[in-house]
Structure 1
Amino acid sequence: MSYVEVGDKIYIIGDPIAQEGLNCNPYLLIDEGEGILIDPGSVLDFPIVLENLKQLIDIRKISHVILHHQDPDFCSAVPLLEKEGLNAQVVTTWKCQTLVKYYGIQMPYYLIEEHEMQLRLKSGRILSFILTPYLHFAGAFVTYDMKTRSLFSSDLFGSFSYNPTLYADDHYMDKMLSFHEHYMPSNAVLRPVMELISLYQIETIFPQHGSIIREQVYQYIEALKTLECGSFLTPVKKNLMQSGGFTMIFNEVYKRMISIFPSEDVNEIFDTIDGLEFNEQKVITGYRQDWNLLWNSIFNHVQSIKGMVWLGVLFPFVENLCAVFDLQLPEVFSKSLNEILNENDKLKQVNISLDQTIKATNNKLLRCPITGLYNETFFHSLLLNEFGNEDWREIGILALIGIDDFADYIIRFGNQEEQIVLNNLAYLLKENFGENAVYRMDLPDFALYLKGLTRQEVVERLEKIRVKVNKGDYFLGKITISAGVAFPSEIDLNSNSSEIAANQYENLAFERLRTAQLTGKNKICSEGEKGIQTVRKGKILIADTDITNVTLLKTYFEEADLEVMTTDNGIEAKEMAIANLPDVIVSEVILHRLDGFSLREELLNNSTTKDIKTVFLSFKKDETSVKRAIQMGVTHYLSKPFLLAELLGIVESLVQDGKKWN
């Protein structure tokens, strides 16, 4: 669970880890069971947003999705959420709507201009909308919640997040100003919006980027009201000497860098610059070289140690300083990006021929000649490298996949068919998990190393592939696969070395694969063995809409020392089967919500339930239904009325068979 409650029923549901210095904060507001999704984020955020939504609310109870502007970091996850069952109104402006629709969103739109700039929730709670044109899009707006006095501020009040904190800290003001210097067009546009926002009673600001502001809110509003920003800024000129001289300039640059970037990285840069004098509080008190040399030296060191990304972030701030105090822009900024890239390209060209030779050699050594996938040698190296990182909790999910009875298949159909099976299965795996996630192994046949997917998503995708292989016509003969899955949460963090931990992780997945193959094959095993009792009651699940019949069977089976569960609908029967794994299901064909055939189909698609014995008991019994039942592996099909003794004999026999198998 990674969501955080940051207000009264207000949650951050995104990934707290910044993407290249810019994190996204999708929000969920829950009001008396009704969900409002606010700027749900990008394709990168989607897996964790979906996981958190499922833990907080039934996705069908989300009534509205607020999109404050059209950028992909706000909107591109919406079509993916639609595929997961989201069916809500999209709240936005008409200008945003004209562009947002190109993401392929199918849901209806709620244009705020047509609804008096408000949204009334079912409880009567009102969300008000404030237009913020050209900050930074013509149709942008923000949302104010009067109940909690909260402002969902979109890009406004956001920041870069190279050292992110959940709530605004002492450095957040500079982080915020740096972000707005980059993305906001001018003070002429920013000032009137800030003046309007300052009229609202605001206790908390929830920006889509950066940290939540819950203290001294109006200081941040005032800071943006007076911020000079944009490409055409004309700042008020100031006298450098009266303002503190070059020492002040150096301190301003140092403070700005400390506020944006990790302090240890900033100090690494300044420690390499000879000529600046610091006191114990890390304040620059003087300098011993020509100021212009130092001025250029600071940014030359930034460029050589941290590269163009840091220079790009600092550029608006430095440009503004130069404009205010009539300073010359440092030379490193004067060089065009193209010139720097060209210099790098020349260096790359020197070794390009050698690189190609090395790659060609490595490909022969590290790729499977049949599938073209990276082989087991490469995979082991990758896994060791991953475990060499400091935080093993960032390790991906590991799945090992084996083709059941593959040796017998090759003997029957020949070695040429082996290549076809491996290529087709490799294609299915790459199609579902991505080419870089699939590896060709010697034993078992394939490995998957997966990041960005939840435990449930991995198991569900593997189940779909298992069913597709079992039912499809990709191969000359019948093929089934089994898989064993291990998860990062199961890694022994106290292991003596990363190599031992990596081996233990791979062994865990391999043991689960063996368990899947030894207990019937065509299975996905993602949990440890739970320990099988030597003596236990048989478990029976009865699914029938006839209460009298259910009561009779329950009593009869319990007298035979069987454990009995009952339900009158197919959906609940499926859930009970997955949770309790009965030995036998006795089911009527005609059920509420999900009929007996559909129930059987659902259970066949799940590794843990596909082998549960099923007996149909129904007034509906004809040649068509019996043939269909046989095709689905239904063990017996009895018509009502039936003989209790006959049914009990069938059930007890099936239970005993199951115990022998276990």
Structure 2
Amino acid sequence: MNIIEHIYHVGDLKTLNGLECNPYLLIDGEEGVLFDPGSKLDFEIVLENIKKLIDIDKIKYIVLHHQDPDFCSSVPLFENAGVKAEIVTSWRTMTLVQYYGIQSEYYLLEEHEHELVMGSGRVLRFLPTPYLHFAGAFATYDTKTEVLFSSDLFGAFSNNSTLYADDEYMDKMLAFHEDYMPSNSVLRPVMDTLSRISITMILPQHGSIINKEIPKYIKALRTLECGTLLTPIKKNLLASGGHLRIFNDLMKRLMALYGREKVLAIFRSIDAITISPEEKITEYAGNPVEVFNTILDEIKAQAGMIWIASIEPYVRKLTATYEIQMPTVFESLIKKMGQENEKLQEMNQSLEQTIKAVNERLNKNSITGLFNEVFLKSLLMEELGNENWRDIGAFACIDIDSFSNYKLLFGLEEENIALNNMAYILKEQFGYNAVFKMESTDFGVYLKGYDRRDLIEKMEEVRILISKSELFLAKITVSIGIAFPDEIKLDLSSSEMTATQYMELGFTRLRGAKRAGKNRVCSVGQEELASVLAKSVLIVDSDRTNAEVLKTFIEKLGAEVLIAEDGYQAFEMAEENLPNVIITEINTPKLDGFLLKEKLSSNSKTKNIEVIYLSFQKDEDSVNRALELGVTHYMKKPYLLSELLGLVKRNIKEVN
């Protein structure tokens, strides 16, 4: 059956215990792609349907979205029938499907950038859907037709199926996912990814094809509470419609699964409830808990335990949502599991409270309430370790220009207010979970869903918005550096090193924005960056006359020269201006030259700045200490000016 532009349903629409299998065939010129060919039980009819459409030797690929027998067990039979195709799947699925006796070559997603380019240039993109319901599960997106072959996602139980989703399909789909999917925390991020993709049609391996109102189905799964250990949002039973609401919801769900007539026949046989001509339960007689038990007992008596087992997750969700007693008919089915889960939940709740309290202290900034740099780095490491690491986001560093002057003018209290106001602006623009308080710069932003150009434009808008904001006592500007996921280097030995290098790239771009004059967005690579960097030198000396004389000669080299009279001021100026070179006396007030170097080295923004010691103090102990700190150029006053200028010239030349 033709679905859309040479994409065909090649299975049998008959169901087996309410779970039908839908193999699909995509024909592109002389190439065919077979998606999840099905079980051994369906093999003959699927093969017959395929032969009506294409010669089997033109099937070049068989896509296996996961390893279950209803998807894969017929593959050896297709091989015996003469199909010579590559098996397109994840390495986790490959590990298991080999035990069906599959002999064909494998096309592993991880080795091909999660894409398959066909002979015509048509691209199939493979979207990881880990643990939905298998660790190596994925879906396939046809970029030509914008059709999603969704595997188990959007599938359904149904004993009264239709080829295309009807008005009852939502309940069928939710029933399937409540039972098969592990948790909302796994389901939600995949739905977030799908919501950003243009999808014209969803072809699930079970259930019906969804060809309209696709965002509605994505939203329904995004918010679905599912899994054995679900913790749904509590609702007031009376305010929601009382037990009548529960009885009608249960009847509606059963109709979706087993057909209207069968379900109505059972419910009409129950004396304790009244059903209107509109097929709604309008009244019940007696204690509602007893009536609930009566309804379930009658369902068991007339339809058997299969019906009871299929609605158990849904009833469990209802009882948890409205905090009512689970009907007794489920006791034999879930008593042991319930006891274990109750104990597990108690332990988990206690553990979660402890973890939450510790995380709040360790991972949140006390001033802004934002998660900190350590948390962001852990998040990046986690994402890099995931199967869908290619969906990693862009990273932007945002630093308030000349913030040290603002703090000196208005004091600590206003500094905290300014940071909170800045956090407020960024959260408004990017969302709470995207903004972080950093140690090595003021703020970090981690974003998904932006392409390069859109993100640069957005950051420019934010930069201008902040410069015009009236939330601060004086005008504030920011410098911004952006790193993009396609710049990540994956050849490092650990995800920690990769995350560190990725963040460092953002910091480097930020330094570029500052050296180029501040109040800028820098998003260019190293070679382009070098062409826009300003050359600057910081002189640290309490003798202003000596500093001014040296400044005159260095400026002739074409560099901007800054002067600080004590070590503390020097550190703040270095952090704000990121000079190429710091020339410092050893004996400076507040922080001496050694402590200044230690402080510079402990800061991600300033650790790579070249430091030259220029001092009256130079002996074996001080030279050894300088070497330990990584300072290799130590000149004693009086010094040879040409030698010093040569060192400065060499360091500022590196940014030309």
Calculate the TM-score normalised by the size of structure 1. 0.50
1:246 is aligned to 2:281:
no
Determine the structure 1 residue equivalent to 2:217: 220
The letter for the 2-side match of 1:283 is K
1:158 is aligned to 2:159:
no
- After superposition, residues 186-201 of structure 1 pair within 5 angstroms as 186-201=183-198
Question: Deviating runs (4+, > 4 A) in structure 1?
Answer: none
- After superposition, residues 80-91 of structure 1 pair within 5 angstroms as 80-91=77-88
CA contact (8 A) 2:158 2:256 kept: no
Query: CA offsets per residue over residues 134-177 of structure 1, 9 Å max, x none?
Result: 00000000000111110000000000021110000000000000
The letter for the 2-side match of 1:194 is M
* 1:290 positional shift: 1.6
SS of the equivalent of 1:15 reads coil
Determine the structure 2 residue equivalent to 1:314: 311
Determine the structure 2 residue equivalent to 1:130: 127
Range 122-131 or range 246-255, more displaced: 246-255
* 1:32 positional shift: 1.1
Determine the structure 1 residue equivalent to 2:21: 24
1:206 is aligned to 2:198:
no
Determine the structure 1 residue equivalent to 2:60: 63
Determine the structure 2 residue equivalent to 1:46: 43
The letter for the 2-side match of 1:234 is T
* 1:53 positional shift: 1.3
Aligned counterpart in structure 1 of residue 232 of structure 2, from 215, 219, 235? 235
- Give me the whole-angstrom Cα distance separating, in 2, the residues matched to 1:337 and 1:239: 25
* 1:337 positional shift: 7.9
- Give me the whole-angstrom Cα distance separating, in 1, the residues matched to 2:131 and 2:229: 15
SS of the equivalent of 1:37 reads strand
Kindly tell me: are residues 174 and 336 of structure 1, through their superposed partners in 2, closer, same or farther at Cα, counting changes over 3 Å?
A: closer
Aligned counterpart in structure 2 of residue 101 of structure 1, from 98, 101, 110? 98
- Give me the whole-angstrom Cα distance separating, in 2, the residues matched to 1:284 and 1:338: 29
- Give me the whole-angstrom Cα distance separating, in 2, the residues matched to 1:330 and 1:49: 42
- After superposition, residues 394-543 of structure 1 pair within 5 angstroms as none
- Give me the whole-angstrom Cα distance separating, in 1, the residues matched to 2:163 and 2:333: 36
1:173 is aligned to 2:183:
no
Determine the structure 1 residue equivalent to 2:406: none
- Give me the whole-angstrom Cα distance separating, in 2, the residues matched to 1:336 and 1:125: 49
- After superposition, residues 481-630 of structure 1 pair within 5 angstroms as none
Determine the structure 2 residue equivalent to 1:270: 267
1:260 is aligned to 2:280:
no
List gaps (5 residues or longer) in structure 1.
340-662
Query: CA offsets per residue over residues 71-92 of structure 1, 9 Å max, x none?
Result: 0000000000000101011000
- After superposition, residues 332-371 of structure 1 pair within 5 angstroms as 332-336=329-333
- After superposition, residues 644-659 of structure 1 pair within 5 angstroms as none
- Give me the whole-angstrom Cα distance separating, in 2, the residues matched to 1:335 and 1:208: 32
SS of the equivalent of 2:66 reads coil
* 1:277 positional shift: 2.1
Aligned counterpart in structure 2 of residue 12 of structure 1, from 9, 14, 25? 9
Query: CA offsets per residue over residues 362-396 of structure 1, 9 Å max, x none?
Result: xxxxxxxxxxxxxxxxxxxxxxxxxxxxxxxxxxx
* 1:54 positional shift: 1.3
- Give me the whole-angstrom Cα distance separating, in 2, the residues matched to 1:288 and 1:326: 21
Query: CA offsets per residue over residues 228-284 of structure 1, 9 Å max, x none?
Result: 000110111111011111111111111111111111110111011112122221112
- Give me the whole-angstrom Cα distance separating, in 2, the residues matched to 1:336 and 1:182: 14
The letter for the 2-side match of 1:125 is R
The letter for the 1-side match of 2:36 is D
Determine the structure 1 residue equivalent to 2:288: 291
* 1:335 positional shift: 2.1
SS of the equivalent of 1:335 reads helix
- Give me the whole-angstrom Cα distance separating, in 2, the residues matched to 1:10 and 1:106: 26
- Give me the whole-angstrom Cα distance separating, in 2, the residues matched to 1:73 and 1:258: 25
Determine the structure 1 residue equivalent to 2:488: none
1:149 is aligned to 2:146:
yes
CA contact (8 A) 2:61 2:87 kept: yes
SS of the equivalent of 1:240 reads coil
- Give me the whole-angstrom Cα distance separating, in 1, the residues matched to 2:36 and 2:194: 20
- Give me the whole-angstrom Cα distance separating, in 2, the residues matched to 1:338 and 1:18: 31
Aligned length: 336
- Give me the whole-angstrom Cα distance separating, in 1, the residues matched to 2:259 and 2:321: 27
* 1:338 positional shift: 11
Q: CA RMSD in A?
A: 1.2
Query: CA offsets per residue over residues 553-590 of structure 1, 9 Å max, x none?
Result: xxxxxxxxxxxxxxxxxxxxxxxxxxxxxxxxxxxxxx
SS of the equivalent of 1:56 reads coil
- Give me the whole-angstrom Cα distance separating, in 2, the residues matched to 1:187 and 1:218: 17
Aligned counterpart in structure 2 of residue 76 of structure 1, from 73, 78, 101? 73
- Give me the whole-angstrom Cα distance separating, in 2, the residues matched to 1:264 and 1:251: 15
Determine the structure 1 residue equivalent to 2:482: none
- Give me the whole-angstrom Cα distance separating, in 1, the residues matched to 2:138 and 2:159: 26
The letter for the 2-side match of 1:333 is F
Determine the structure 2 residue equivalent to 1:609: none
List gaps (5 residues or longer) in structure 2.
337-656
SS of the equivalent of 1:153 reads strand
SS of the equivalent of 2:315 reads helix
Calculate the TM-score normalised by the size of structure 2. 0.51
- Give me the whole-angstrom Cα distance separating, in 2, the residues matched to 1:67 and 1:335: 37
- Give me the whole-angstrom Cα distance separating, in 2, the residues matched to 1:175 and 1:155: 13
- Give me the whole-angstrom Cα distance separating, in 1, the residues matched to 2:36 and 2:335: 35
- Give me the whole-angstrom Cα distance separating, in 2, the residues matched to 1:13 and 1:239: 47
- Give me the whole-angstrom Cα distance separating, in 2, the residues matched to 1:121 and 1:206: 20
- Give me the whole-angstrom Cα distance separating, in 1, the residues matched to 2:234 and 2:95: 42
SS of the equivalent of 2:97 reads helix
- After superposition, residues 376-391 of structure 1 pair within 5 angstroms as none
Determine the structure 1 residue equivalent to 2:300: 303
